[in-house]
Amino acid sequence: MLTLKQLETFVQVVELGTFERASQRLNATQSTVSKRISELEQATGLPLFDRSRRSARLTEEGERLLELAYATLEGAKQILELNEKPDRTLHRVRIGFTELAALTWLPGFLRDYTTERPDIRLDITIDMSRTLYQQFQDGELDLVVIPQVPEAFAQPGVEAQLLEEVEMAFMAREGLVGDPSPVSFRALERYPLISQGKRSGFAHDINRWLSHQGMTASNLTADNLLALVGLVAAGRGISVFPKLCVQRFAREQGLEILETSPPLPTIGYYALYHGGVRISLFEELALRLASAADFTSPFFFSEHSLSRSESHSSEGM
C-alpha cells in the first residue's frame, strides 16, 4: 500500500543524496529508510534508484515519480492545515549567511523582513561558505546565501537564485606597490598574498583563478574579513577584497585599490534551497533576499563617514 511516509522518505533521499542523510533528517534508522523505499517500489512496481551507483541516483521512472510525490505531499500538507488559523501558523526557516552579507545588507534585511512577515521565524547562522554548504547538504540548513558552488547545480532538488555579482579587486597599503597601473600579476608576485582560508567560497574561486594566471598560493590566511583588512592595512601584504564594500572605508584604513590586467572576475552570490514541499515559501524568500542584497555598503559605515571619506579623496586628487 502506498503511504505518505514512503513518499516523504523518497523525497528526502533524493534531496539529500544518500540514505544515511535522509535517515538523519527523518530521525529514523537507515534500515527503516531502505524498507520504506523498497515498499514504495513494490507498491508502484517501479525501479526508483539506480543501484549500480554509490549515490542515490534516480532512474527515469524515479524522476517522474518525484514530481508527483512533491505534489502529493503538498496537497496532504494543505489538507492538514485546513483547520489552522493563519495567525497561529509560524514557519521556521533555518538560513545561513557568510560574513560579507552580515557586514553589509543582512541587518537591514532582517529588520524589514521581521516586520513584513511576522509569520516566519528565521534561525540565522553566520559562517564560512564551505561550512554552510556542508550544513545545507546535511539538512541542517534550509537555505544558504553563498558564492556559487558548481556541484550544487548538478544536484537534483536543489534550486538557486542569483542575488548579486560582486566585483573583486586587489588592495594594498598605500605606497606599498609602486608599479604603474594596471599592475601585472608578475609584479604582484613580489608581495606576500594574504587570503581567507579554504572554507571561504570566494577565496577558493579567486585563488583558483589566480593560479591560472601563474600566481602562487597565498602566504598567509585569515578567515575573518575585517582581520584581513587589518593585516593589509598594516602592510603585511596584498589581498583580494569585495571592491565596492571595502572601498567605502579603504582610504580611512590607508588602503588603495590596485587595478590589474586582466581585471579580477566577479563572484556570483546565490540563495540555494531545497525544492521540497515548502518550495513556494523558499522561492518567495529567495526573491526577497535578491531584492535586498547589496554587498557594496557596510552597515556600520555612516553616510557622514562616507561623505568625509569622499571629500578627502577629492582633495587628494
| Same domain, yes or no: 124 and 206 | no
Q: How many domains does the chain have?
A: 3
Per the omega criterion (within 30 degrees of 0), is the bond before 182 cis? yes
Residue reference for cell 524498507: 35
Range of the domain at 24: 4-80
Q: Where are the alpha helices (DSSP H) in 152-267?
A: 185-188, 201-212, 225-233, 243-250
Nearest alpha carbon to residue 194 among 164, 178, 217? 217
| Same domain, yes or no: 173 and 244 | yes
**What does DSSP assign to residue 154?**
G
CATH code: domain of residue 33: 1.10.10.10
Higher per-residue confidence, 245 vs 317: 245
CATH code: domain of residue 288: 3.40.190.10
pLDDT at residue number 5: 92
Residue reference for cell 538557486: 160
The pTM assigned to this predicted structure is 0.66
* Averaged pLDDT of the chain: 83
Q: Which amino acid is at 218?
A: S
Cα-Cα-Cα-Cα torsion 74, 75, 76, 77, nearest 10 degrees, comes to: 50
Question: 216 in a domain, yes or no?
Answer: yes
Nearest alpha carbon to residue 259 among 196, 167, 195? 167
CA dist., res. 109 & res. 132, Å (int): 19
pLDDT tens for residues 128-152? 888 999 999 888 999 999 988 766 6
Range from 47-51, 147-151, 203-207, 212-216 that averages highest in pLDDT = 47-51
Q: Which amino acid is at 307?
A: S
| Same domain, yes or no: 146 and 198 | no
- Among 61, 80, 99, which residue terminates a domain? 80
